[in-house]
Amino acid sequence: MVNQDWFEKDFYAILGVSKDVDAKELKKTYRKLARQYHPDNNPGDAASEQKFKDIGEAYAVLSDAEQRKQYDAVRAMGGGARFTAGSGGPGAGGGGFEDVFAQMFGGGGAQNVRFGTGGQGGMGGVDLEDLLGAFGGGGGFSQGGQGFPGGFQPGGQGFPGGGGFAGRGYGGGMPKGQDVEASTTLDFRSAAAGDTVTLSKPDGGRITTRIPAGVKDGQRIRLKGKGMPAPMQGGEAGDMYLKVAVTPHPVFGRDGDNLTVDLPVTFAEAALGATVQVPTLDGGTVKVKVSPGTPSGRVLRVRGRGIATKKGTGDLLAKVQVVVPTELSDSAKEAVEALRAEAEGSDPRADLIARARA
């Protein structure tokens, strides 16, 4: 910011405090206003955004004892009037910067000085910042002090520290742009493999981003710098937090990075053993061995056929489900009855009942 604003803006009035306000009351007032006008609390409100900038600028100067002293001196010399960069020639009404500096430095020589708000100031021009540097020593006049640190959050502790802003360009610690929330829905297979989606932003813009492979239902992904732009030039853009919903698959489930599937087997396959096919997420199949006497509920593991992520690949977990036929042919019924006769006197629930009583 150009230091001409020191002549034009009443920082005390902007913050609504008296000129003899102490540091404690100044900070308290500033924090209250910053929370009230922060862009996060007033999305899309240009007037509130400008007010937020103004109170930050005012506090940056008044909270620093040395800058406040310099500011008071400049305002006292200028009488709080609005000045222009003109020479204040005949018929111009109030004087320009030259009149003020004539009072500050004595004599009328300042009447012939050209003042520029840029670094060059024109042929033979004098940079206003260099002249104002006479108050604080050195060349360019720094309005650093407290500055505008980034990322003020409503209800926080205000703007803690920061790099300030020197001359016309603000330094580090600029207010960060507003973070935004977004959501998208993927089918189970797309979530496992990764996908590219296009998202809408609150300001009407659109971004395209890649969803990493293996994203889980309900997972939030941070997209750095994809939020709202910073309220002031040079500040860091906010982030977008994308929440992903994953629709269920009719066959597969998920346990961490492992895929799960219920595997139906016949009584004969479970009792005698067999090699059966298990479906995979890519549409293919893989063969697994069912050992003789495999009970319903046993999990068969197929390594490396689960969800692939950058951290590794999970396994495919097939849970055996012994299928009981609902209808039997006469011969099948005779076979089952023969099996029952063989197991006469054996109670598979005896141990369960004994443990329950114990």
pLDDT at 234 exceeding the cut of 90: no
C-alpha distances out from residue 114 to 95, 96, 101, 131, Å: 13, 10, 11, 11
Give pLDDT, residue 3. 52
Distance from C-alpha of 245 to C-alpha of 269, rounded to nearest angstrom: 38
Looking at the chain, which residues constitute the CATH 2.60.260.20 domain(s)?
A: 180-246, 253-357
Question: At residue 103, what are phi and psi to the nearest 5 degrees?
Answer: -70, -40
Of residues 290 and 115, which shows the higher confidence score? 290
Q: Could you give the residue ranges of the DSSP H alpha helices within the chain? A: 5-8, 11-15, 23-37, 46-62, 65-78, 97-105, 128-136, 188-193, 267-272, 330-342, 350-357
- Out of 76-85, 239-248, 341-350, pick the least confident: 76-85
pLDDT bracket for residue 355 (50, 70, 90):
very high
pLDDT at 260 exceeding the cut of 80: yes
Of residues 5 and 325, which shows the higher confidence score? 325
Which tens digits make up the pLDDT trace of 149-159?
Answer: 333 333 333 33
Q: Are residues 279 and 253 in contact, defined by beta-carbon separation less than 8 angstroms? A: no
| Residue 37: how many other CB atoms lie within 10 Å | 20
CATH architecture of 180-246: Sandwich (2.60)
pLDDT at 136 exceeding the cut of 60: no
Mean pLDDT of 17-21: 91
Distance from C-alpha of 256 to C-alpha of 190, rounded to nearest angstrom: 16
Work out the angle at residue 102's Cα, subtended by the Cα atoms of residues 99 and 105, and round it to the nearest 5 degrees: 150
Which tens digits make up the pLDDT trace of 77-103?
Answer: 654 444 444 444 444 444 444 444 444
Q: Are residues 216 and 255 in contact, defined by beta-carbon separation less than 8 angstroms? A: no
Looking at the chain, which residues constitute the CATH 1.10.287.110 domain(s)?
A: 5-170
Mean pLDDT of 111-123: 37
Residues contacting residue 236 through CB under 8 Å, at least 6 positions apart? 150, 174, 176, 177, 225, 230
Q: What is the pTM of this model?
A: 0.50
Distance from C-alpha of 22 to C-alpha of 209, rounded to nearest angstrom: 50
Distance from C-alpha of 81 to C-alpha of 75, rounded to nearest angstrom: 8
pLDDT bracket for residue 4 (50, 70, 90):
low
CATH number of the structural domain 5-170: 1.10.287.110
Give pLDDT, residue 197. 92
3-state secondary structure 292-344: CCCCCCCEEEECCCCCEECCEECCEEEEEEEECCCCCCHHHHHHHHHHHHHCC
Distance from C-alpha of 176 to C-alpha of 103, rounded to nearest angstrom: 41
Strand-by-strand arrangement of the 240-246 sheet: 180-186, 240-246, 220-223
Which tens digits make up the pLDDT trace of 178-209?
Answer: 898 999 999 999 999 999 999 987 777 888 99
Work out the angle at residue 125's Cα, subtended by the Cα atoms of residues 141 and 144, and round it to the nearest 5 degrees: 10
Mean pLDDT of 352-356: 92
| Residue 87: how many other CB atoms lie within 10 Å | 17
Of residues 296 and 154, which shows the higher confidence score? 296
Distance from C-alpha of 244 to C-alpha of 202, rounded to nearest angstrom: 18
pLDDT at 147 exceeding the cut of 90: no
Which amino acid appears at position 240 of this protein? M
Q: Are residues 197 and 185 in contact, defined by beta-carbon separation less than 8 angstroms? A: no
Mean pLDDT of 155-171: 36
CATH class in words for 253-357: mainly beta
| Residue 300: how many other CB atoms lie within 10 Å | 19
Mean pLDDT of 68-84: 66
In 3-state terms, what secondary structure has residue 239? coil
- What percent of the chain has a predicted confidence (pLDDT) above 70? 71
Question: At residue 303, what are phi and psi to the nearest 5 degrees?
Answer: -70, 140
Residue reference for tokens 């999305």: 43
Among the listed residues 197, 192, 328, the one whose alpha carbon sits nearest the alpha carbon of residue 266: 328
- What is the average pLDDT value for the chain, to the nearest integer? 76
